Every structure is written in structure tokens, then in C-alpha cells.
Amino acid sequence: ASSWPTSATARSINAHLRYKMLSRTIRRAAKPATTTRSFERYLNLHEYQSSALMKENGVNVPVGIAAHSVGEAVAAAEEIGDAEVVIKSQILAGGRGLGTIWSSAGNSAGTASYPAPPGMEGAKFLQGGVHVIKKDQVKEYADQMLGGTLVTKQSGPEGKPITTLLMAKKMELVNEMYLSITLDRTTMGPLIVACAKGGTSIEDTAAEDPSWIIKCPVDISKGITKENTKTVVDGLIAGLERMGVASQLKDKKEDAYKQIENLYNMFVKYDCTMVEVNPIAEDPSGLLLAADAKIGFDDNAFFRQKAVFDEGDKNVDQVDPREVAAAEFDLNYVGLDGNIGCMVNGAGLAMATMDIASQKGGEPANFLDVGGSASVKNIKGAFEIITRDPKVKCILVNIFGGIMKCDVIAEGVKQAAAEMDLKIPLVVRLEGTNVDAGNKIIKDANLDTLISADDLDDAAEKAVKAIA
């Protein structure tokens, strides 16, 4: 397509894929020949896992102990030994402190920030996924948090399950700031993003007043320099002064420079796509502390980051099982709430297809990109994943045949549909190499559910009509 789709559906998918998906062509070109993996993994670590990695690499982190049961949480609080502790839900999404935990054990006190996930209407809730509590309250809170579903600004309406808690030492923090390192397409290298206002949603701060945001690109060939760390630290100090708050950070600049340098070196060493510390906090002496952290990794780095990926494999409960299944077939999948399943080759074409389906009155049920290797096995796998969603009433296939020839794709679609004995309408639009031969295969397939379309508009209209 000549322009990127701009619908709400496309923007939603784009946000979901921000850290998950690189260009399929780039990923495959970059993958070393020595790897034996047949699918992609998009790795993120929990806070307790990220903190352990940071500590190994010279970053200041609070004392913390992971707990997977109520008993372990109580024992961890005893080990920490203070009268008060911090109990933190561990999910792979930000905004936990302002989120809402839904379960059968919540106290339903106050007002929930987010509604119950689908299927949990009428459940009890506990407001907030992070709490500072007395040691004798640990059992009460752990009971309400473990096994619950935490809904945050970044989790999506379905939320994420809480299977692990981080019991952390309560720290005396003077100021809470924000710092992240990510990959920037504009500068084509690492970018440090910082803000004196931290601890909550950085997105809101950036939207309300971008002048608070500090951006410092790093030349990947030179590595991080003193000038880079000075830009970030001086920017944070200026922001704190702008807020009118007391700070000792200016007296501990060298320590702050070192902390940012260590974070950057870790970012490079472990092939990270993102290191986010929110908050990066100042203690009473002016030292910086990574009080909360999220780290994402490049899936192409599996061959040299096996230990990190093995740690990430523990977090499979945080991923939509359909996405896990899709990875086994080398597919990119994101579930949505509609009733038209989409199977397309290419991320841009997939978004355009969803836009057209929406414009014709339909609702896409998913984003699914089969890429450049739509074999019978992959097509069948895609159909199986799409039809797991009971809301799907029709499948719309939109394939542009370039390297993949349309007749080969059509044969794969016909075989997969026959083998699965699909009971719902399957609308197929083909364009590109050998398109006439491909369309003939579809039309001659003698399958009641298989519908051929002339172009994308025609396909979308037929899909919507099929479920009317």
C-alpha cells in the first residue's frame, strides 16, 4: 500500500506490535544459519527477573524476593525483616500501580480504575497492583493478588494473570524519575529517553507536555560517552529544579553517570530492544536506584543469549496461547474482538485488509501475517488458530503473490480447507503471479464454504455478506 492505514484498528495493532514485531524480511535476513529454531520468540522479562539481571551488571536495585505462593510471600517478608514491605504484582505490562486486580478474593474497596475483564463480570477487585503494607498484612494481600487478573493501561482489557509477586524492601525515595533505552528508527540506533516526572504513565506526561521529555541518541559505533550521560543527568536535574523539589542528585553526578552507562552497556550486551526503568529513583543521599524495570530482547539473539531466553520461557502464562501456537507455524498473530478472521501475507497488507473489512461493516477478529512461506502446513495452522476463536464466523484470505505464486497458495488453501472440513465461509482474494491459475483452483475446488473474490473490495463485501 502507498500509505500506512490510519484506522483505530490499525493503530491498535501497531501499538501491540511495537516491541513484538520487526520486519519479517529483516528478521529472517539477520537470523544466523547456525540456529535450529523454527519459530520466533519475542522475549520480555518480569521486574524481578530484570532486577536480577541489572544487579549482575552494576545497576543499583532494591532488595527483592520473588514469591509464587502465599507462603513464599510471607517467608520473603520475614527474610526482608522490616515492619513494612512492598508487594508488587508481576505481569508483562506497565501501569501496574494504577491498575485493578480482579479475582474472587478482592476487597472491592474504593473505585476500580479499570472494568472487569471479559468473562469476569461480577468478580471482586483490589485497586492497585503495587502496595506498601505492614508485614502482618502480607498474607491478606497475597491472597487477593495471586491468581487474580491485573488490568492496566498497557495490558489490554483482558488483563494479565498474576502468578508471581515481588516482595521488595521499602526504600526511602526522594524523587521518582523515568529512564528508558530503546531503538529509534529516526536515528537508527539506541535512544535514551528520560523525564524528571516518573513513577506513573510516561505516555500521559509526553502527551500533556513534551517539553519534559529528554531524548539523547547514542552513536552505536562509539558507544555511550560522557557527553551522553551528562545530557541525561543534567536534563533530569533541570527537570527537578523546574518542579521545585529538593534533590541531592547534582552532588552525585559521577555516580549517576555510571548508573546510566551501566544500563546502556547492559542494553548492548544482552541484545535488548528496550530497557525501561520507571521509576529510576533518587535516595536521600542523591544516588540513583532502579526501583522498577522492564527489559525486552531481540528474538534474533537467542543463539547467544540462551540463558536469558530460558529465563523468559518461565513467563509463557503472560502470552496469548494463540500467539504461542502461531509462532510454531512462523506466523504473526494478534487477537481482536471481531467476527471476521483475516489471513494475509505482509503486515501492511494485513492492516489494510482489516481497514477495508471495517469500512464495509465488518469487524476483524485478528491480525494474522503468514509472511512469505504459506505452505499447506502453515495455512492449515493459521486456519486452526483463527477458528479457535468462537466469535469468528468467516475467514477472509487476502494474498499478494510475488515470490509465492498464487496457484501454489490456492492449492494450499484448498487442501487445508478440505482437510479441516471448515464449516464457516472462506473468502479468498488472490493477486499477483499466476493469479488466473490460482483463482481457477479456488473456483473449481467444489467446496461449499470456499468463495472466490475479484479484488479486496469484493472480498470484504462478500465476507460481511456471508455473516449477515
Helix segments in 198-250, DSSP class H = 202-208, 226-243
| Residue that the C-alpha cell 495490558 belongs to | 155
Whole-angstrom distance, CA of residue 468 vs CA of residue 462: 10
DSSP state of 191: E
Angle between helix 138-145 and 70-80 (nearest 10): 140
Catalytically active residues are: 178, 276
Residues whose CB is less than 8 angstroms from the CB of residue 189 and which lie 6 or more positions away in sequence, other chains included:
183, 217, 218, 219, 220
- Three-class SS of residue 51? helix
H/E run at residue 377: helix 376-387
| Residue that the C-alpha cell 470484504 belongs to | 460
Burial track 353-384 (b if 16+ CB lie within 10 A, e otherwise): bbbbbbebebbbbbbbbbbeebbbebbbbbbe
Q: Which of 193, 194, 190, 254 is nearest to 223 (CA)?
A: 190
| Residue that the C-alpha cell 553526578 belongs to | 253
DSSP 76-100: HHHHH--SEEEEEE--SSS-GGG-E
Residue 306 in contact with residue 40, Cβ under 8 Å? no
| Residue that the C-alpha cell 464457516 belongs to | 424
Would you tell me how many other CB atoms lie within 10 Å of the CB of residue 35?
Answer: 10
Residue 99 in contact with residue 150, Cβ under 8 Å? yes
Q: Which of 297, 337, 274, 233 is nearest to 94 (CA)?
A: 274
Whole-angstrom distance, CA of residue 43 vs CA of residue 90: 15
Grid cell locating 304: 547467544
